Structure 1
C-alpha cells in the first residue's frame, strides 16, 4: 500500500495486524512444542525443540517491540490513530512523531549507557528518529497540498531544448535560463527530458561531442493538470525525479518541479 488509511479505526486495525500475527505465530509454535513434548519422551532435549522455542520467542519479542508507541512503528501508528480521533491528522502525526523521537532518544541513551555499549540500540534509535521525522514531513506536505491543483502551481512557461543540441551548448543554456531540467522536443513531439544530473555524468571534455539525445531520459514521467498537488508529490518521490511534465490532450502545457511544490508549501504555511 502507498499510504495508511485516513480513518483512525482502520489505521489502528491495520497497524495491530502485524504484531498480532507475530503473537499468533509465537503462540502456535509454543503450543506445538508443548503438545509434542507431552507426546514424545525426551523431545525437550532435542535441537528441533530448541529451534522452535527460539522462533516462538523471537516472534513474541518482535510483536511486543512493534507495539512500542514509537512512530512510525506499528505501536506509533496506533497512537496516531488515537490522537486523530481528537485532533486533525497533521497534528496527530506531529504528536505521534514527537513520542517516537522521545523513545528514540531513550533507546540511544540506553545503548550508550549499557555495559558494554549496544550499537544495535543506537541503530534502532536512528531508524526510529529518521522514520518519525520523514513521516511527519511527508504527511504535512501531502495533507497541505491535497486541495491544490497541479495547474495552479505548475510553471506554464515551458522552455524546451532540441535533442540535437550538444551538452556544451546545454550547459550554457542552463546558465542563461536558470533551470536544471528541460523537456526535449523535436517537431512538436516530446522525446524525453534532460537534467543537469544527466550532463554531470559526462566528462567535460566529451560534452561538445555528446548530444542531448545521447543522455536524455526517454521514459518521461507526466501528470495531468487536473491532478492534485499531493498526488504530484507522491509521483515525484516514487519515481525519484525532480520535475514532472504536465500533459493535456497530448500537448505539454507546463512543468511542475519539486521546488514549485516546496514554494507552495512555504506560502500555505505562513
Structure 2
C-alpha cells in the first residue's frame, strides 16, 4: 500500500507532488499563476477520473473501486481549486502597487498638536486618518477613525495627540506591491495602518480593509 501511494503521489495531479513538479516545469515558460491554473485543471481532471473509477465499473480499473479513491478524488479536486484561487490572488497582489489602492484621506499632524485639531478636521471629514510626524522625515504614530471613537473620556481637547497615538504601523513605499504590504502585515499582525511614502514624504495611507475591498472588487 505504501509503495502504491508513493507512485500514486507522482501522478501529475496538482496539488500532489507530481502536480507540483508539473507546475514547476510549466513555470519555466509561463507566469506562475498561469502554470498553477493549468496544473490545477489537470489535477481536477484526474480527480474526476479517480471518483469515476472508484464508484463505477471501468474496464482495467476495477482494482480502484474503493471509497478511499473516491475520497481522494474529492480531496484533490477541492485542494486544486483552493491552490489556484490562492495563486490567482497572490498574482493580483504582486501586480498591484500600493499607490493604486491607498487613500489620500489623511492629515499629517505634529506631535505637539492636540485633539482639538483632530476634531476640527473631523468636523469637515467624518472618516479620516491621521499620521503624526514631521512633514519630511520621522513618523511617530498614527490615529485611525476607530481609535478616535474609542478614545478615553479622560482625553480632553487639549490632550497632545502624541499621548493617544498608536505605534503599530509599518511604512510602505508608493511603489511597493500589495503583496509587500501583506507580508509586512504577516510579520507584524498588530499593524493598524501603513503610511505610504514617496521619498520621505507621506503621500497616502493604507489599511488591511482597503486591500480586502480591492480583492472583492476584482473577483
TM-score (norm 2): 0.54
Match status 1:134 vs 2:76: no
For 2:202 and 2:74, the matched residues in 1 are separated by 49
Match status 1:225 vs 2:174: yes
Higher RCO, 1 vs 2 (CA within 8 Å, ≥6 residues apart) = 2
Unaligned regions of 5+ residues in structure 1, if any?
A: 1-53
For 1:140 and 1:193, the matched residues in 2 are separated by 28
Match status 1:255 vs 2:198: no
For 1:190 and 1:135, the matched residues in 2 are separated by 34
- Counterpart for residue 58 of structure 2: none
Are the structure 2 counterparts of residues 266 and 135 from structure 1 closer, same or farther at C-alpha, using a change threshold of 3 Å? same
Cα contact 2:48–2:73 (8 A) shared by 1: no
For 1:262 and 1:156, the matched residues in 2 are separated by 16
Which digits, 9 at most, give the CA deviation of each residue in 1:56-97, with x for residues without a partner? Answer: x5xx67754653434344333222233335544432222223
Question: CA RMSD of the aligned region, Å?
Answer: 5.3
For 2:148 and 2:19, the matched residues in 1 are separated by 43
For 1:199 and 1:104, the matched residues in 2 are separated by 52
Offset of residue 222 of structure 1: 0.9
For 1:234 and 1:84, the matched residues in 2 are separated by 23
Match status 1:185 vs 2:137: no
For 2:203 and 2:6, the matched residues in 1 are separated by 50
Offset of residue 255 of structure 1: 1.7
Unaligned regions of 5+ residues in structure 2, if any?
A: 56-64
Offset of residue 139 of structure 1: 2.7
Q: Given the alignment, which residue of 69, 76, 87 partners 2:12?
A: 69
* SS of corresponding position for 2:174: coil
* SS of corresponding position for 2:106: coil
Offset of residue 221 of structure 1: 1.0
Aligned residues: 196
Match status 1:82 vs 2:32: no
Offset of residue 136 of structure 1: 2.8
